[in-house]
Amino acid sequence: MRVDVAELKLDAGSHKTVPVEVAVEPVEIGGESVKFDRPFKGEAEIWNAGDRLLVRATLSGEAQLPCSRCLTTFSLPLETSFEEEFIEGKPGPDDDEAETGRTVTYYTGDAIDLSETLRDNVLLELPMQPLCREDCQGICPTCGTNRNEGACSCVETTSVDPRFAALEKLLRKPDSNS
Ligand SMILES: [Zn+2]
Ligand SMILES: [Zn+2]
């Protein structure tokens, strides 16, 4: 999505606010596919900071992705806000991003393209271990039943933590209690 900055560029200190919208293509994360059914929407404020343009944007939408515990696909609301600098021209030999520690995008002409930076920032919000809900019960390792949908008959035997089982054994020994 391109934003016209022709007028903004003429006047240092001026700014404008534009609505932004970006569609995000499906991605694979850890072998699981993540989809985005609707475009992300939000707002970007663009400032003319003299030798550069400063973009501040907020975006929200949702991802459809599998829960890391029960593998059920669910919708996760995502929101991101970020800042990025746009500098007119081409990167010079001194403009090493790693050294400046800042995210700088170069542009030419009278428009800046926000699509890539919007997409990148959406993807940064994806959790490493998404959960369909905080207390997701996961899947029974024995029979594969989704425990959120009800207990299975093998829950009793598999739910004992081996550490507690060892402790229980220890406490039962008569001489360990003296
Ligand atoms: Zn889950
Ligand atoms: Zn089971």
Per-residue model confidence (pLDDT) at position 158:
45
Average pLDDT on 151-175 reads 65
pLDDT of residue 178: 47
pLDDT band at 168 (very low <50, low <70, confident <90, very high): low
Ligand 2 centroid – CA 147 distance (Å): 8
Prediction pTM value: 0.76
Domain map (residue ranges) of the chain = 2-124, 147-177
| pLDDT (tens digit per residue) in 95-144 | 665 555 567 899 999 999 999 999 999 999 999 899 999 999 999 988 99
Q: Which residues surround ligand 2, an ion (CB under 5 A)?
A: 140, 142-143, 145, 152, 154
- pLDDT confidence of 176, banded at 50, 70, 90? very low
CA of 170 relative to ligand 2 center, distance in Å: 28
pLDDT at residue 15 in the model: 96
The pLDDT of residue 92: 73
Provide the token pair at 62.
């949702």
* Side-chain-facing half-sphere of 18: CA atoms under 13 Å: 17
Task: Using the structure block, give the residue that is written with the tokens 């001489």.
Answer: 175
Distance from the alpha carbon of residue 155 to the mean position of ligand 1, in angstroms: 17
Contacts of residue 12, defined as CB under 8 A and 6 or more positions apart, other chains included, come to 48, 49, 50
Mean pLDDT over the full length of the chain: 87
Q: Which residues pair with 19 in a beta bridge?
A: 43
For ligand 1, the distance from its centroid to the CA atom of residue 138, given in whole angstroms, is 6
Q: Is the pLDDT of residue 165 over 80?
A: no
Q: What is the pLDDT of residue 151?
A: 86
Q: Residue written as tokens 């569609």?
A: 23
Q: Please tell me the distance between residue 136's alpha carbon and the centre of ligand 1 in angstroms.
A: 5
- Arithmetic mean of pLDDT, 18-26: 96
